[in-house]
A and B are shown apart, each in its own frame.
Chain A
Amino acid sequence: MIHTKFDYKAPKTINEAIEILSMGNAKIIAGGTSLLNVIRSKEISPDLLIDLKNLKELKGISVEKSSGIMKIHSMTTYSEIIDSPEINNFFPALTDAIQSINNPQWKNRTTLGGNIAFNNPNADITAVLLALYASIDVIGKDGKRNIPIDSFFISPFITDLNPNEIIVSINIPLPSPNDQSAYLKIKNQANQTAICGIAVLIGKNDDGIIDKCRIGITGATENVSRLINVEEALKGKKLTKENISLATEQIKNESLNYITDFVASSEYRANMSKILTERTIMKIAEMY
């Protein structure tokens, strides 16, 4: 039961969608798996919902070899993503994150675009996209733009997306042959979200030296963030147990705001961040 009334439109073209999106208190609905709950709880009360389901150009996964990126269009569902052999192959962290929620019905409806636009601070996917160096193609009244992932997630439930913009695709650079990624989390047993989730991407040069490292953290902190100090501490090193352990120590120098709620304390979350970071990197070490 939803207690507020709104209009609903399912435009046939992107331009039409952008046009009506600019008309006022409108919200985009993709899968609706997050949106309907906040409407139900009256946290938001839009006057209009714009369903993007008819926009075929927002669906599907494509590899653009020329630019070396994989484009996951915003209305692609999680089920479609985990069924993609290429994604499994290129971005195991992405599959790990989606598979960390055992909820097949949710995966059949939830879209990647919708999930990141919502920017729930305990979503798994946000940390993974940070680690994978993604960028977001958006389109709005003022045209297209590309938002680097590092500036996309502003604060809980707030992104860099303008009210009149629509996410077109999530672009992830194709991995080099020596890149690996992984995602691990501590799960909230009620809703399966992350109490703490860590996503790591690591690349090595031919000598086995780490030349690429990005780490995203979600669930534990006020906002999804990167662990810059840990990343820096690993770069230029070999992926040994000792180096991993030393680098993980650097997490204490990150400026992070760990949160406390009735599920877990900030103390626990801070400690788990360290343990999971070490474990996720170790997992990658074992993947080589």
Chain B
Amino acid sequence: MVVDDADFMRMKCVELLIEYGYEVVEAENGAQALKKYQEDKPDAVLLDITMPDMDGLEALREIKKIDPKARVAMLTALDQKGVTQQAIDAGADLFVVKPFTTVKVIATVDKLLR
């Protein structure tokens, strides 16, 4: 599942995952991500941090309440020690720093699915 409020980035990420043979569910905010996580039980989640209403860190904590074993990589331009630590504390498995490359996204999803 790809969660990003930015249509452009979400579209780019979804397109490349589909190109590499993945089935992808999309969500454009934290609340929608929780709903779709419960409905679709995705194998892995790529989750943006900066989103309105419910940001990615809050969404991550809620997803982990639903499924403590959820495999989540944070997709973000925020590469700050404090933010990274908060995400790790909330249960993030991996990070993809934007602007992402195809290689980085596919490698991250592969790692999440192992």
Judge: A and B partners, yes or no.
no
The chain A residues found within 8 Å of chain B, CB to CB, are: none
> Which B residues contact A (CB, under 8 angstroms)?
none
